[in-house]
Every structure is written in structure tokens, then in C-alpha cells.
Chains A and B, each alone.
Chain A
Amino acid sequence: MDFTKLFELIIGASLINNFVFTRFLGLCIFFGVSKKMETAVGMSITFTAVMMVSAALSWLIFNFVMVPLEITFLKIIVFIGVVAGFVQASDTIMRKVAPGLFYKLGIYLALISTNCIILAVPLINAGEYYSFIESLAFALGSGIGFALALIIMASIREKIELADVPIPFKGLPIAFVTTGLIALAFAGFSGLIKI
């Protein structure tokens, strides 16, 4: 196993091709839960965990079921089924097994199934023909990247709440402009690693 390749994948997915700032995915959730630090942290943890498991599940299904049967053109339908099914299942299991954890993170779990990153990662893994470990590394990197974006944004938005923003810009518009500025900063990471 080539560890530099894995490291490159993680850095690439989290910093250089950060899903929020350079691929613009998961924006609905990004703007939805970045109002408060607490929700941002909860979402990041749940999101990274779900991402890893659903990437692993969809990799197994893609390579052991769909490729042999030559039904790879159904990947959109199958992956969304896998993700939605897994989220629903972990919701039920967590409610029974770990009610305390469910009380804290359950609400984010329900939101995750509407996140496009969670679907994009299996689709990219399948499109690039990553190996199992590479898929996991890519999922981990994407999770870290999303967590980073959420936490940066949440800490800025807590300050914006107190700032004197022109009225038409209040709420989402100013959040968009702020994200644009962070995205400019993240553009500095491009070229860090040649992939």
C-alpha cells in the first residue's frame, strides 16, 4: 500500500479540492448549520462518520455487485438508495443502542441524507476507480474538509451576527460574500500537491 498516495488523497480532498469552496457541494447544509458553533461541530462529527461508512458500503456494492452484473449505469439510483437506507438504519439503531448520542446528533443524521457531498463521494470513487482503501481515504479527506469549512464559517458567522450589515445583505447574501472571501483564501492551496 502506497501511503504517500493516501496522504495526497486526504490533503487533496480536504484542502485543495475542498468540497464546499472549490466544488460547491453541500451548500444547503453548509449555510443551514453554520449559524452556531455547537451545531457546526455536531454536524461535522456525524457527517464524517456517515461519509466513511457509506463510501465503504457503496464501494463494496459497486465492485462486487454492480460491476460483475454490468449495471453500472444504475449507479445514481443504487447509491442514493444505499445512502438513504444507511442513514435511516443508523437513525433507528442509534435511537435504541445509544439514546444519549442520538439526542445530541440525531437531528444532523436526518439532514445528512439531503447532502449532495454524501452522494458525490461514492460517485467520484466509482468514476475514478479508486481501490477500497483509497475510497476510504478520499471519504475521510472530504469529511475533514467539510468539517473545516463548517467550523471556519460558524466562527465567522457568530461575529457577523453582531456586525452592522446593510439591510438587503442581512442573512444569506452576506454569508455568500463571506464564503467567497474564504474561497479566495482556499484558492491559495491549489498547486500544493500535483495529483
Chain B
Amino acid sequence: MTQTNTVSYTDLIKNGIFKENTIFKLALSLCPSIAVTNNLRNGVLMGVAVLFVQVMVNITISLMRNFIHPRIRLPIFMLIISGWVTVTDLTMAAFTPEAYKQMGLYIQLIVAFASILARAEMFASKNKVVPSMFDGVGMGLGFLFALTVISFFREMLGRGSLWGFPIIYAKPLLIMILPAGGFFAVGILMAFFNWMSMRNAK
């Protein structure tokens, strides 16, 4: 991972949003991408929560990387991640009780996100604090971007509204806010991203 030192910070962020987008490209951490995206506000809140946890975990691990014995690194990473998730969980329960009622369980389950552990293991444990922070910002923004796109389409088609404000005055497609609609939305968006990258490759 020595070459990463020469990579600029904007590249780190771009990498997280496009090239290694957690949901559309790596297909990791899919559970919340469907569970909380039936309206835009929940999708964005979840994305912000993940962004926060990812950045804080990357910073913490990168600060401590010289003190962690390699053989017990995974349990330590898990401890750090669950610590920050608990912080997020309690903060959201206090400040956004309405949304927390609907997505509390999924906030707690950020702990089991493969993507957060993967970035900690692959990047933060080997790099200095500042690049790790930007890597976390990039991966988190990528996740936020994916959740925003999915929930944008689902709320617009399923309820005819955005962020709670009605914009389409027609009978909405109820199926899009049902569980099944989430699977359809992610499947079709993934196919769209595949199609885009295939067209660019030509």
C-alpha cells in the first residue's frame, strides 16, 4: 500500500464514490440500502450516520495503528467500530427520535457492515491519519450517494413526494415503498451502473 501515499485526496474521495462504490460496485452492506430507503429523509440520515462512523473509525484506527498487535487486530477493530456505532445510536435516539423509531435496529447493525471493517483493515491500519480520514469520507460519501439515489426514486415513485413534500399529483406506485420495491430498485440501478460502465469501456 505504499503507492497510496502518492494518490491525491480528491482521488481517494472519487474512488469511494465511483470506482469502489460500496453498494453498486462491491455489493456490500446491502441490508440498509433496502431497509431504510422507502423515503428520502431516512435514506439520507442513514447515509450520514454511516459516513460519520466510517470517518471516525478510520481516524481512530489510524491513530492507534502502531499500538495494535497484528494478531488481535480484528477484535480491536470490532470494539472500536461498535464503540462509535453506540455513540451514533445514542445521539440519533436523542436528536431524531421520529426517524430512530423506524430505523433504530438498522443503526445498531452498522456494526456488522463489512465495508467499514474492510476499510479499517485495508486502509486505515496501514496509512497516516489524514489520508485515512479522506478515505473514510470518500467511502462514506459513496454510501450516502447510493442511499440517496435509491431512496429518491423509491419515494418519488412510491409516494409521489420528496422529503415529505408532494410533487407528483397522480396515484403513486405503492409497490415501490413495499419491501419488494426496494429489491427492484436496487436491481435496476445496479444494472444501470453496469450498463454505464460497459458503455464507457467501449
Q: Could you say which of B1-9, B151-159, B190-198 contacts chain A?
A: B190-198
Complex contacts, A166 vs chain B, CB 8 Å: 191
**Chain A at the B interface: mostly helix, strand, loop or mixed?**
helix
A114 CB contact (under 8 Å) in B75, B108, B114: B114
Counting CB contacts under 8 A, is B188 at the interface?
Answer: yes
Counting CB contacts under 8 A, is A28 at the interface?
Answer: yes
- How long is the Cα–Cα vector from A27 to B90 in the complex, in angstroms? 26
Q: Are A77 and B187 in contact (CB under 8 A)?
A: no
Q: Are A21 and B179 in contact (CB under 8 A)?
A: yes
- Category for how many chain A residues contact B: 35 or more
Q: How many residues of B contact A (CB 8 A)?
A: 40
Query: Could you mark each residue 78-114 of chain B with 1 if its beta carbon is under 8 Å from any beta carbon of chain A, else 0?
Result: 1100110110011000000000000001001101101
Q: Are A114 and B183 in contact (CB under 8 A)?
A: no
Known contacts A124-B105, A173-B188, A180-B180; decide if A116 and B194 are in contact (CB<8 Å): no
Complex contacts, B175 vs chain A, CB 8 Å: 184
**23 pairs from A and B in contact (CB 8 Å cutoff):** A21-B179, A24-B31, A24-B32, A28-B27, A28-B28, A28-B31, A31-B27, A114-B112, A116-B112, A119-B109, A119-B112, A120-B109, A166-B191, A168-B191, A168-B194, A168-B195, A173-B188, A174-B187, A176-B183, A176-B187, A176-B190, A179-B187, A180-B183
List A residues at the B interface (Cβ < 8 Å): 21-28, 31, 73-74, 76-77, 80-81, 84, 114-116, 119-120, 123-124, 127, 166-170, 172-177, 179-181, 183-184, 187
List B residues at the A interface (Cβ < 8 Å): 27-32, 34-35, 75, 78-79, 82-83, 85-86, 89-90, 105, 108-109, 111-112, 114, 175, 178-184, 186-188, 190-192, 194-195, 198
